Structure 1
């Protein structure tokens, strides 16, 4: 892990003041994938607009020298949520019987990778959550499997598969206890 310059983490429960910065840092983080329909900035903007109206929406952005360099956002999912309905096989009841926090997106700009910034964003995002479990979806091919391995090192385990939309790849659904 390399040392990164100081970052400031800001938490938002309202999308409006953070939306522009979220779109900017998303475009930097996902630059190699932006040509794919599911990763286009417009598609991300539509997803973040929808997710920000759902219960428990929280975003954390990392800033360095006033510029956004990383982000994560989440919301609460309930028993019976379409998130769980699309997961195969059906997850164990311990994950779905109570509300869970769904980590919808996390990413840091290329210069900020391997600096611990993503983990700091992740931990701040979860620090105030009351849910027992956190879940996320990862493309198993991302980083030639390194992204999934990173989540496993953070305590996540694979619990199923999901294809959230027809243009999405089949993703691995992972979960862990919040704390």
Structure 2
């Protein structure tokens, strides 16, 4: 399998992926959704990713990656309605589908949203119901039994190992 390389521009938030297995880089536009208005995000999808980064003959597919940190609750969509983060991602993908024919060289743009607030909401794994002391005793017994078997296999008996 070929190597994947990435070129990252921290100033513009752009990532260019390439691999020896396929021709052409795959531009990825990364935005922290909380830092942008709805109209800006729609414009950057079409103007920056489709218009600038995908104008290269070698690139025909791109990724629009938005990360949500929970600071903004709603964004304005092109027709004026307000949307939460999940609705924004869906609206951006639908917007791309509606304007894709104006960018004939672009085969596909995938809009991906990562909601970091869901990470904070994920349930904490439950602790084992066994007490720590009984767990340690079981572990110690297993280790001692294992050591005794090794000694027995070397010609000593269990009673020999108890006196050592």
TM-score range for the pair, normalised by the shorter chain length = 0.3 to 0.5
Per the normalisation by structure 1, the TM-score is: 0.31
Higher relative contact order (CA 8 A, sep 6+): 1
Per the normalisation by structure 2, the TM-score is: 0.33
Which structure has the greater CA radius of gyration?
A: 2
Kindly indicate which of the two structures has a greater share of residues assigned to helix: 2
